[in-house]
Every structure is written in C-alpha cells, then in structure tokens.
Amino acid sequence: LGYEGWSAGHHQVKDALDYVRAQQEADGSWYGRWGVNYIYGTWQVLRGMRALNLDMNQPWLKKAGAWLESVQHDDGGWGERCNTYDDPVFKGQGPSTASQTAWAVMGLCAFDDPENSALKRGIAYLTLMQNADGSWTEHETTGTGFPKVFYLKYDIYRNAWPLLALATYKQISERAAAKKNGANS
C-alpha cells in the first residue's frame, strides 16, 4: 500500500498494520509465502514498512532486523530450507543462497544504514559468489508453491534478487552519502 501512496494513517492501512504486527513471530520474523520462508517473509514486511515511511526504529521492526542478523551465516550469506514450513525450529538454517541472501540484504536495507556490518557482509557474499558471467549459482530450492505441498526452483530468483539487492544497497549508500555531504556543506 505504501508503494501506491497510501499513508500509515489511513484506516485500512492501520488495520493491515495491526494484522502484520499480530503475525510477527516471537523472535521477530514473519512466515513467508512465495519464497522460502522466514527470511523472505521478514524481508517483505520490512520493505513494506519502509514504503509506508514508518519509523524503522520501532522495537518490533528493530526486532525483525535483529532476527535477520542473528541467522546470518559465517560466510556472510543467508539460507533456509523448505523444512521450515514443517518445523520452524529450522528457521534461518540451510546453506547460504544468492536469493535468500538478497532478501535478507534488502530487509536490512529498509533500515537505511549502509554501514550495518551484517548488511556489508551480505553484500560481500553476493559479490564474492557472483560468477564471471554476472550470474549466481543456486542449488537449493527457494521458491514456494504451496507450503508443505510443493516447492519451486525459479531459475530467475538466483539472478534477479541479487541484482535488486545490490541496486537497493547502492541506493541507500548514495542517499547516506548525499545526506552526509549536505550536512557538511
């Protein structure tokens, strides 16, 4: 709704926000529907809240960012397997993938802090894992058809999401630099 110009003050948006907040897991994450799984769901909520121009320093949103940071892997990436739909104890566990790392990166970008260390490690992972031809390799299934029924391997995910994540990071970095330069003028 935020991308369509609706404000957080609109009564229908308020109802939607109440619903979203009620769906947040105790650890700060959200269930994902079209991508595997909690990394995807959490990113989608964070980008939506940013689009509504909400204060991203609210505790419930910061908790979501902290959850993303808590499930980052040592290699700088993020990954999660389809088994999280059967048992959420596996949230954030699985080999790092380009698409899931991209989702987490874009989720953290919602906080507009290009100096966030987890975010920078995620960007480093994406650039390191990029193939010479500009693509990314992804062996894991990261698309969801119907949870617990079937999952999809969208070949475009491995390239489209990382490109969008890198572009999103570039945007917040440029915005931060412009703000800093404006403050120094």
Task: Evaluate whether residue 185 is within a structural domain.
Answer: no
Q: What is the pLDDT along the chain (185 residues), one digit of tens a residue?
A: 888 988 899 999 999 999 999 999 999 999 999 999 999 999 999 999 999 999 999 999 999 999 999 999 999 999 999 999 999 999 999 999 999 999 999 999 999 999 999 999 999 999 999 999 999 999 999 999 999 999 999 999 999 999 999 999 999 999 999 998 887 65
- Among 89, 45, 85, 88, CA closest to 63: 45
Task: Evaluate whether residue 27 is within a structural domain.
Answer: yes
Q: What is the dihedral of CA 71, 76, 82, 86, to 10 degrees?
A: -10
Say how many domains are in the chain.
1
Task: Evaluate whether residue 163 is within a structural domain.
Answer: yes
Residue 155: give the domain boundaries. Answer: 2-179
In this prediction, residue 105 carries a pLDDT of: 99
* pTM (2 d.p.): 0.95
In this prediction, residue 185 carries a pLDDT of: 59
- Among 34, 141, 39, CA closest to 90: 39
In this prediction, residue 46 carries a pLDDT of: 98
What's the burial of 99, exposed, middle or buried (CB within 10 Å: 0-12/13-18/19+)? buried
DSSP-derived secondary structure letter, 144: E
Task: Evaluate whether residue 78 is within a structural domain.
Answer: yes
Task: Evaluate whether residue 112 is within a structural domain.
Answer: yes
Task: Evaluate whether residue 184 is within a structural domain.
Answer: no
Structure tokens at 157: 């995910």
Task: Evaluate whether residue 121 is within a structural domain.
Answer: yes
Q: What is the CATH number of the domain that holds 138?
A: 1.50.10.20
Task: Evaluate whether residue 119 is within a structural domain.
Answer: yes
